[in-house]
Structure formats: C-alpha cells, structure tokens
Amino acid sequence: MLSTISIALLSALTLVHAAPFTEIYTAGATAISSTSVYKPTTVATSTSTSPPSKVKPSTGATHTVIAGLGGLHFDPENIVAEIGDNIEVHFRPQNHSFAQSSFSSPCKPLLDAHNYESGFFSGFMPTTSNEAPNVFTVDVVNKDPIWFYCSQTKGSHCQAGMAGVVNQNFDGPNTLAAYKKAAALTGTSVSPMRVQGGVVAPPKNP
C-alpha cells in the first residue's frame, strides 16, 4: 500500500503537470479558432458567385460619324451596324451634341416606361476651328433602330435636319426621311439632363 506521504507526493506532481497541459491545450484551441479555417471557403464562394461586369469591351467594327461636317448634318447619317459594333462620333465646329431619341418624339430625349431618360447623350462638344479633342463612343447592343439628333437649340439643328439612325427598318414606314419631316415640325429641341450611355474620351486613332 502507498504511504500517506507517497499519495501526497503523487497528487502534487499531478497538479504541477496538469496546469501546463491545460494551458497548452487552451492556447492551441484559441489559435485554431482565431485562424478561421472557413475563410478560404468563404472567399472562394464569394469570388465564384460575384456577378460578371456589365461593361464589356467592344469587339466589333467601329463606325465613324462626323457631326457638323460641312453643315448641320451627321456624316454618315444612316448606319447599318452589327451587335458588338460601336459608333464613334467626332465633332466639328461649332458646338454639336449626339443624343438619342425615339422615332415618335424627334428632337427629344429617349424615355423609358417610367418617363426617365434612358438614351445616350454626349454633352456639347464646343470647338472653333478644329475637331473637338474628344469623341463619344456608343456600343451597339441589339438590332433595334437607334434614332439620334443634335440637341443644339441655337440654329435649331435637329429641326434643320441634323439627325440620323442606326439600323433603320428599310421595309417599314419609320424611315429617316419621315423622322426628319416630323423633326422639322417640332418646337425647341430638348437636351438630356446629363452625359450618359457612352464614353467621352480622346479618339483611339486620331
């Protein structure tokens, strides 16, 4: 049988060694908890479920349009483009713009079903003698007709025939000639409230 002294000695040794073990175990558990081993899974899931960017680089042809070339008109004014193409508008003197409208409301901004402006607008591009330093580029995202006009009120540019179309339906009554005829009967042109729907930047190939 163990003596009373031996039992006491064994108890003391057990207490001495138990404390470090407990501390080491606790520290190890804390370290594992603070490492948050689930984070890599969370990051991977977040990356894979992120929605793709809606802004995609254009991979099609570039159609160059000159605003104000030799007078109040766009050149060309009737464009046939494919999905993925882009329209690059260059601006000559004096102060023109490139705005989208509907066929039914010429010389006015395109509106959506809630009467919010939904079309593109370059803003005004003033220049005195040379071409404006920036161009306005719009991507063609579908084959629907795109009606556009210059919203400059000084000189009534739209009413004077400064308008055009991308992908006109040549088999229907909504022709560019009909648009211009209706535009001539409108009052003052309306400019959209802000630049939108395209990119204002120096030309890629000046």
Distance CA 135, CA 203 (A): 6
Residues 6+ apart with CB under 8 A from 146: 100, 138, 140, 165, 166, 167
Do β-strands 125-127 and 94-96 pair in parallel, antiparallel, or remain unpaired? Answer: antiparallel
Which of these ranges, 6-10, 45-49, 67-71, has the smallest mean pLDDT?
45-49
In the chain, the amino acid numbered 191 is S
The mean pLDDT of 19-34, rounded to a whole number, is 38
Query: What does the pLDDT read at residue 206?
Result: 66
Query: What does the pLDDT read at residue 59?
Result: 64
Question: Which residue, among 184, 61, 68, 84, has the nearest Cα to 122 in the 3D structure?
Answer: 68
Distance CA 143, CA 103 (A): 15
The mean pLDDT of 37-43, rounded to a whole number, is 39
Query: What does the pLDDT read at residue 105?
Result: 97
Residues 6+ apart with CB under 8 A from 42: none
